Amino acid sequence: METLATILHADLDAFYASVEQLLNPSLRGKPIAVGGGVVLAASYEAKAFGVRGGMPGRRARELCPQLIFVDGHFKDYQRLGDAAIAMLGDYTPLVERISIDEAFADVAGCTHLFGSPADIAATIRHRVRTELGLPISVGVARTKHLAKIASQVAKPDGMVLVDPKTELKPALLHLADRVASRLRAKSLAGSTVTVRVRFADMRAVTRSTTLDAPISATVMLAEIAEELVRVALADHPQERTITLLAISVSQLRKQPEIQLDLPLELPDEKRRPGAKKGIARWTADRAIDTIRDRFGRDAVGYAATALDGPRSVPDGFRELAEKEL
């Protein structure tokens, strides 16, 4: 079956830092940062130490004492960014540039000339690497939003294709990850899970369920949300296109620690925070939270999550994240 994933999002990796390493080969493989008082961009070698764009230079040096600061060469950034984006135009006229180092391209009308969207993405990546000497990540998906998410997952220097037949689950896992991590950061857990589904005609439906025990584990929340979305879709079989998903958790309470359950085999054991499987999931999430606190959100996560996009609208009663599809 022919895929509908024809939107590409191309994003040059650690662009400013990669250009500096291109201009000065002695910097390759070393942790560098563009800037001084504030980090404008960091190489992946620096990011491995937790250095990130926007970080004060003093903090960056504390995290990575061997960090090399370099001045920016903005004319070169513009020149090389223009050249990379121009390569997209060699395959389709439908190119939308959104920054100096990233752009969308719709290749639906040119697959008969250049191959599948994945083939086109691979060709673009090869050309940028060989002709310009720069790494670039490309996401391929049905929508611009998902393509941008996919390119973030593909970093550094890779490609990810989001199959329309399987895009629902990773999208929900991403939302659950955003919501659950904020709950855990506040030592909260919630008993009621609600999903909101909006269809192409702008009609929206909600489905919710209340659990026996409050949860804050990412995978638990994602599984429950997926079940609720499946129910919503079953109730509206004529609707095949989802344009927005939202997950919220309410009936919140403080959860400073997990109360262990009796060692019984329960039907919903993996979703009970105090059961053996529930504790394992909660422990894994806590480990992820600890690593992210030190090295940034992109440092670690669930393999299927691969999603990073707009963001939450939290209030005092629930944690909400929405994703346009």
Q: Which residues are catalytic?
A: 102
SS3 169: helix
Residue 193 CB contacts under 8 Å (≥ 6 apart), including other chains: 208, 209, 211, 215, 221, 224, 225, 228, 247, 248, 249
Structure tokens at 246: 């939202």
User: Residue 172 burial (CB < 10 Å; 0-12/13-18/19+)?
Assistant: buried
Task: Give the sign of the dihedral formed by CA 36, CA 39, CA 40, CA 42.
Answer: positive
Longest pairwise C-alpha distance within the chain: 66
Residue 2 CB contacts under 8 Å (≥ 6 apart), including other chains: none
How far apart CA 145 and CA 98 sit, in angstroms, is: 13
In terms of phi and psi (left: phi > 0; alpha: psi -120 to 50; beta: otherwise), the region of 15 is: alpha
Structure tokens at 298: 């992109």
Ranges assigned E (strand) in 4-75: 7-12, 32-35, 39-42, 68-70
